[in-house]
Amino acid sequence: MTTPAPPLPLSHTPFPPASGRNMALLVQLRWMAVVGQLVTIWAAVRFLHVGLPLAQLVAVPVLLAMVNLSTMAMGREREGYSHLEMLGALMLDVGSLAWQLYFSGGTTNPFAFLFLLQIVIGAILLPPSWSWIVAAISAAAVAGLTFDYRPLHLPEPYASAPMRLYLLGSLVCFLLIAALLVFFVIRIDRNRRQSDAALAALRQQAAEEQHIVRMGLLASGAAHELGTPLATISVLLGDWRTHPAMAAHADLRAELGEMNTELQRCKTIVSGILMSAGEARGENPAVTTLSAFVGAIAQGWAERSGGAVYLDDRIGENHYNIVADPALRQVIGNVIENALEVSPHFVTMTVAVDDGAVRIDIRDRGPGFAPEMLEAFGRPYSSTKGRSGGGLGLFLVVNVLRKLGGKVEVGNLLDGGAQVRLTIPLSAFAYKGRAA
- Residue 212 is predicted with a pLDDT of 60
The model's pTM is 0.51
Of 211, 168, 182, nearest to 124 (Cα)? Answer: 182
**3 state DSSP class of 425:** strand
- Residue 251 is predicted with a pLDDT of 80
DSSP 359: E
Which one-letter amino acid corresponds to residue 80? G
Which one-letter amino acid corresponds to residue 222? A
- Count Cβ atoms within 10 A of the Cβ of residue 17 and give its class: 0-12 exposed, 13-18 middle, 19 or more buried: middle
- Residue 159 is predicted with a pLDDT of 80
* ω into 61 cis (within 30 of 0): no
User: Which residues does 142 contact at the CB level (< 8 Å), separation at least 6?
Assistant: 107, 112, 115
Q: How many residues does the chain have?
A: 436
Half-sphere exposure for 227 (CA within 13 Å, toward CB): 11
**3 state DSSP class of 350:** strand
Give the separation between CA 359 and CA 408, rounded to whole angstroms. 10
Strands of the 418-425 sheet, one edge to the other:
309-313, 347-354, 357-364, 418-425, 407-412
Q: How would you write the pLDDT of the chain (436 residues) with one tens digit per residue?
A: 334 434 433 333 456 667 888 888 889 889 998 999 999 899 888 888 888 899 999 999 999 999 999 998 887 777 788 889 999 999 999 999 999 999 999 999 999 999 999 999 898 888 989 999 999 999 999 999 999 999 988 887 878 788 888 888 899 899 988 988 888 878 877 877 887 787 777 777 677 666 665 666 566 556 656 766 777 787 778 778 777 777 777 788 788 888 888 888 787 776 656 555 544 333 345 788 888 889 999 998 998 888 899 999 998 777 788 887 777 887 888 889 889 988 999 999 999 998 889 999 999 999 888 888 777 676 655 555 544 444 556 777 777 787 788 888 988 998 889 999 999 998 888 776 554 4
- Residue 149 is predicted with a pLDDT of 93
DSSP 76: G
Specify whether the CB–CB gap between 22 and 191 falls below 8 A. Answer: yes
- Count Cβ atoms within 10 A of the Cβ of residue 43 and give its class: 0-12 exposed, 13-18 middle, 19 or more buried: exposed
DSSP string, 382-424: --SS-STTTTHHHHHHHHHHHHTT-EEEEEE-TTSSEEEEEEE
- Residue 328 is predicted with a pLDDT of 81
Evaluated on CA atoms 231, 232, 234, 239, the torsion sign reads: positive
- Residue 358 is predicted with a pLDDT of 92
**3 state DSSP class of 362:** strand
Tell me which H or E stretch contains 313: strand 309-313
User: Which residues does 251 contact at the CB level (< 8 Å), separation at least 6?
Assistant: none
Largest CA distance in the chain: 127
Q: At what angle do helices 83-102 and 54-74 cross, to 10 degrees?
A: 170
DSSP 51: B
- Residue 245 is predicted with a pLDDT of 74
**3 state DSSP class of 288:** strand
Alpha-carbon distances of 339 from 139, 273, 302, 419, rounded to whole Å: 68, 23, 13, 9
- Residue 351 is predicted with a pLDDT of 94
Of 361, 401, 397, nearest to 379 (Cα)? Answer: 397
Bridge-based pairing state of the strands 287-289 and 321-323: antiparallel
Give the separation between CA 424 and CA 26, rounded to whole angstroms. 37
Long-range CB contact pairs, 240-244, < 8 A, 24+: none
Give the separation between CA 29 and CA 338, rounded to whole angstroms. 53
Rama region for 156: left / alpha / beta (φ>0; ψ in -120 to 50; rest) = beta
Give the separation between CA 93 and CA 31, rounded to whole angstroms. 11
* ω into 157 cis (within 30 of 0): yes
